[in-house]
């Protein structure tokens, strides 16, 4: 371990993201998607790794977000690509999403800044 502690920045309040919903925020020059799945909060990059689809317009079911463009599916708890994309009935594979460390302080959602 390097001994460096992450610096966290406030990006939203928990009241802005009820259970089963998500919200895109801009922080550190990036679009970050905040997700509340089963009252657990996650933060991932908002743009699909396949064709940069806007995941905030995607479909959230449990811990899986589906991209509205070609249907790539990602686990919001890890950012891992779990399925797709599918183009003309052909299944492909795309990269994983970046996930961000976050913590809840009171009713505020904070994410770790880039080091």
Domains annotated for the chain, with CATH where assigned, are 8-112 (2.102.10.10)
Residues ≥6 apart with Cβ < 8 Å to 18? 36
Strand 21-27: give its sheet, edge to edge: 21-27, 30-37, 40-45, 99-100
Average pLDDT estimate for 57-75: 95
Q: How does strand 90-91 pair with strand 86-87?
A: antiparallel
Please give the mean pLDDT across all residues of the chain: 91
End-to-end CA distance of the chain: 14
The C-alpha angle with vertex 25 and arms to 19 and 27, in degrees rounded to 5, equals 135
Residue range 7-57, pLDDT digits in tens: 999 999 999 999 999 999 999 899 999 999 987 999 999 999 999 999 999
Q: How far apart (Å, rounded) are the C-alpha atoms in residues 49 and 72?
A: 9
């Amino acid at each position: 371990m390097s001994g460096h502690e992450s610096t966290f920045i406030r990006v939203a309040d928990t009241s802005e993201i009820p259970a089963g919903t998500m919200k895109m925020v801009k922080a550190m020059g990036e679009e970050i998607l905040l997700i509340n799945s089963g009252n657990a909060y996650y933060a991932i990059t908002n743009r699909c790794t396949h064709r940069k689809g806007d995941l905030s317009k995607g479909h959230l079911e449990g811990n899986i977000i589906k991209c509205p463009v070609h249907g790539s599916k990602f686990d919001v708890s890890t950012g891992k690509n779990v399925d797709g994309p599918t183009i003309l009935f052909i299944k492909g594979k795309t990269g994983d999403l970046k996930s961000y460390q976050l913590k809840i302080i009171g009713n505020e959602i904070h994410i770790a800044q880039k080091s």
